[in-house]
């Protein structure tokens, strides 16, 4: 199962009944967002927009949205049947993360079919929707990969970071210093040199979901290779040594000045929190080259969801973030993990083997990269809890949590700067490098101090449960069910 192009993915999605082509003319200015919002609410198909107003004659005319906005499509990305369950996908992803596949570097690739430089560059040729009414521009980076390179080691980072078109050859970005590219940018700033950057749109679907995941044990290109079980073909950018996928639809190359005096207003943008992220003076990408395939397909995704809607990051994070969080716990040798979900709350189900286990889990997550954007609320539960069921989780809190002892606030001062609960000062990523977010642990495991094992309870810590009838009674009722005349 080799690395495949976006257009091959379109064919697969179409043959699986997971894609609709929208051939009627639609407006980028609000209408596309309205359509996507409705389709995300219905958990509907991926949408390929083929006829977009003002883009009848631009070099890019097509937009794919929702390639991953359903669990079935995440499973397809991993080469699995559509009905593969979340725990099975998490297990598979963790196995693949342990078998990195290095990329291969080619001299040329389809992404070089067209090369645009200088005055010919015009980002407005790309059919970028206006995603929310109050967005401070057309947000081009909503499902992409932003590639940068460590100037000392050559190590690459691929992240998904928002960007708005702010001119024909300019983009404003939210560059958070605590994120992968933030580390690279700090090094370029110390050298006083502009940082080369490449924005990649449209690729194998594993590209987007790896870009949006804070990988801890493996590089993004190796992870994509591992998922697809074949090396990612890469080519060098035209204007820097940054390596990008050879089969990408579009690559926008540019640089970010190290000088804060070059920053311009960016934002607001309708964020995953459901609120607009703030506008501020932020770094700017000066675009100096665009390469693209013939008749390229641009990629986008709607952020800022109502409850019950599922977009691309929500569907993929349900699997990818869970795998990453599990790996962090395993790397810290924490035993007894049975199941977990990673976002928006990080909920871990364990077979408890020592008293401080829940606190150790929280400490491990807050001590890892995961804390930069995730794990604001960590909840640890016993093995009898169904972590995929709200009522089961509520019952766990009700039963096991002492509000004085088991709800623990930790002053980490590190987390998402998009957290609207923070004061505007604490959200200022330029002042603090990230959001100054504190963290919460809900330890819903049995407190061994209060509840020693009792012989009279069959060597258990809590009284016997009363939720089951005797097996012989269950059998009797089943055998006489028709006689009762209840159904």
Ligand X SMILES: Cc1cc2nc3c(=O)[nH]c(=O)nc-3n(C[C@H](O)[C@H](O)[C@H](O)COP(=O)(O)O)c2cc1C
Question: Which residues make beta-bridge pairs with 26?
Answer: 52
In whole angstroms, how close is the CB of 132 to ligand X at the nearest point? Answer: 13
Q: Quick check: 148 binds ligand X (CB under 6 A)?
A: no
Part in contact with ligand X (CB under 6 A); list of ranges 69-77, 153-161, 386-394, 461-469 = 153-161
> Near ligand X by CB under 6 A, which window of 29-37, 154-162, 333-341, 381-389?
154-162
State which of residues 62, 162, 282, 292 lies at the interface with ligand X (CB under 6 A): 162
Binding segment for ligand X (CB under 6 A), chosen from 84-92, 158-166, 404-412, 466-474, is 158-166
Asked if 160 interacts with ligand X (CB under 6 A), we say yes
- Tokens encoding 216: 């801890």
Residue 159 lies near ligand X (rule: CB under 6 A)? yes
Q: Which is nearer to ligand X, 146 or 442 (CB)?
A: 146
Q: What is the footprint of ligand X within residues 63-92 (CB under 6 A)?
A: none
Taking the C-alpha atoms of residue 332 and residue 375, their distance in angstroms, rounded to an integer, is: 16
Element (H, E) at 431: helix 429-432
Closer Cβ to ligand X, 359 or 369, answer by number: 369
CB 121 within 8 A of CB 144: no
Start-end of H helices in 386-435: 390-400, 429-432
Residue 437 contacts ligand X per CB under 6 A: no
| Contact present, 115 and 238 (Cβ < 8 Å) | yes
440 close to 376: Cβ distance less than 8 angstroms: yes
CB of 3 to ligand X, least distance (A): 19
For position 278 contacting ligand X by CB under 6 A, the verdict is no
CB of 157 to ligand X, least distance (A): 5
Nearer Cβ to ligand X (176/358): 176
What is the contact mask toward ligand X in residues 290 to 309, using x (rule: CB under 6 A)?
A: -----------x-x------
Please give the Cα distance from 102 to 234 (Å, whole number): 11
Task: Tell which residue, 208, 62, 223, has the closest CA to residue 128.
Answer: 62
Q: Residue 231 and residue 226: Cα distance in Å, rounded?
A: 8
Total residues interacting with ligand X, rule: CB under 6 A: 17
Q: By CB under 6 A, is residue 266 in contact with ligand X?
A: no
Q: What is the rounded distance in angstroms from the CA atom of residue 120 to the CA atom of residue 114? A: 12
Considering only residues 209-228, where is the footprint of ligand X by CB under 6 A? 212-214
Closest to ligand X by CB, 161 or 221: 161
d(CA 249, CA 196): 20
Q: At what angle do helices 312-331 and 357-366 cross, to 10 degrees?
A: 120
Segment near ligand X (CB under 6 A); pick from 89-97, 175-183, 252-260, 384-392 = 175-183
By CB under 6 A, tell whether 373 contacts ligand X: yes
Question: In the set 69, 84, 179, 206, which binds ligand X (CB under 6 A)?
Answer: 179
Q: Kind and range of the H or E element at 312?
A: helix 312-331
Q: Distance between CA 101 and CA 122 in Å, rounded? A: 36
Contact window for ligand X (CB under 6 A) among 51-59, 68-76, 160-168, 400-408: 160-168
- In angstroms, the CA 212 to CA 383 distance is 30
Rounded Cα distance between 310 and 66, Å, is 9
Site for ligand X contains 313 (CB under 6 A)? yes
| Region binding ligand X by CB under 6 A among candidate stretches 63-71, 117-125, 171-179, 443-451 | 171-179
Is 135 a binding residue for ligand X by CB under 6 A? The answer is no
CA dihedral sign, ordered 225, 229, 231, 233:
negative
Q: With CB under 6 A as the contact rule, which of the stretches 85-93, 208-216, 454-462, 469-477 interacts with ligand X?
A: 208-216
Shortest distance in whole angstroms from residue 210 CB to ligand X = 9
One-character DSSP codes across 145-210:
EEEEE-TTT--EEEE---EEEEETTEEEE---TTSHHHHHHHHHHHHT-PEEEEEEES--HHHHHH
322: contact with ligand X by CB under 6 A: no
Residues in contact with ligand X by the rule CB under 6 A: 142, 157, 159-162, 174, 176, 179-180, 212-214, 301, 303, 313, 373
């Amino acid at each position: 199962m080799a690395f495949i192009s976006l257009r091959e993915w379109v064919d697969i999605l179409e043959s699986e009944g997971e894609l609709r082509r929208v051939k009627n003319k639609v407006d980028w200015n609000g209408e596309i967002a309205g359509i996507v919002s409705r389709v995300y609410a219905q958990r509907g198909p991926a949408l390929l927009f083929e006829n977009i107003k003002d883009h009848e004659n631009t070099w890019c005319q097509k937009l794919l949205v929702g390639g991953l906005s359903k669990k079935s499509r995440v499973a397809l990305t991993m080469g699995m049947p559509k009905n593969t369950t979340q725990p099975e996908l998490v297990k598979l992803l963790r196995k693949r993360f342990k078998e990195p596949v290095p990329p291969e570097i080619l001299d040329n690739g389809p992404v070089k079919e067209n090369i645009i430089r200088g005055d010919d560059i015009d980002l407005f040729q790309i059919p970028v929707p206006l995603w929310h009414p109050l967005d401070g521009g057309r947000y081009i980076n909503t499902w992409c990969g932003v590639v940068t390179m460590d100037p000392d080691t050559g190590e690459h980072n691929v992240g998904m970071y928002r960007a708005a078109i702010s001119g024909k050859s300019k983009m404003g970005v939210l560059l958070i210093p605590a994120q992968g590219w933030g580390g690279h940018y700090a090094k370029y700033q110390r050298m006083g040199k502009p940082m080369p950057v490449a924005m990649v749109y449209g690729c194998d679907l594993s590209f987007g979901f790896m870009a949006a995941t804070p990988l801890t044990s493996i590089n993004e290109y190796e992870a994509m290779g591992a998922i697809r079980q074949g090396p990612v073909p890469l080519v060098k950018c035209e204007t820097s040594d940054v390596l990008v996928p050879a089969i990408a639809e579009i690559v926008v190359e540019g640089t970010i000045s190290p000088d804060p005096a070059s920053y311009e207003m960016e934002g607001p943008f309708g964020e995953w929190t459901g609120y607009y992220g703030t506008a501020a003076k932020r770094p700017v990408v000066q675009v100096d080259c665009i390469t693209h395939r013939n008749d390229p397909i641009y990629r986008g995704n709607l952020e800022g969801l109502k409850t019950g809607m599922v977009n691309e990051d929500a569907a993929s994070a349900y699997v990818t973030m869970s795998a990453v969080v599990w790996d962090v716990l395993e790397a810290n040798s924490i035993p007894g993990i049975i199941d977990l979900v990673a976002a928006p709350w990080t909920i871990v189900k364990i077979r408890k083997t020592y008293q401080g286990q829940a606190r150790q889990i929280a400490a491990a997550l807050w001590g890892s990269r995961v804390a930069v954007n995730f794990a604001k609320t960590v909840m640890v539960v016993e093995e009898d809890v169904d972590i995929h069921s709200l009522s089961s989780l509520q019952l766990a809190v009700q039963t096991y949590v002492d509000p004085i002892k088991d709800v623990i606030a930790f002053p980490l001062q590190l987390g998402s700067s998009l957290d609207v609960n923070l004061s505007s000062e604490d959200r200022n990523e330029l002042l603090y490098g990230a959001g100054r977010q504190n963290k919460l642990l809900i330890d819903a495991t049995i407190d061994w101090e209060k509840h020693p094992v009792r012989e009279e309870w069959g060597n258990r810590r809590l009284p016997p449960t009363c939720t089951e009838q005797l097996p012989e009674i269950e059998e009797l009722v089943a055998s006489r069910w028709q006689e009762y005349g209840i159904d």
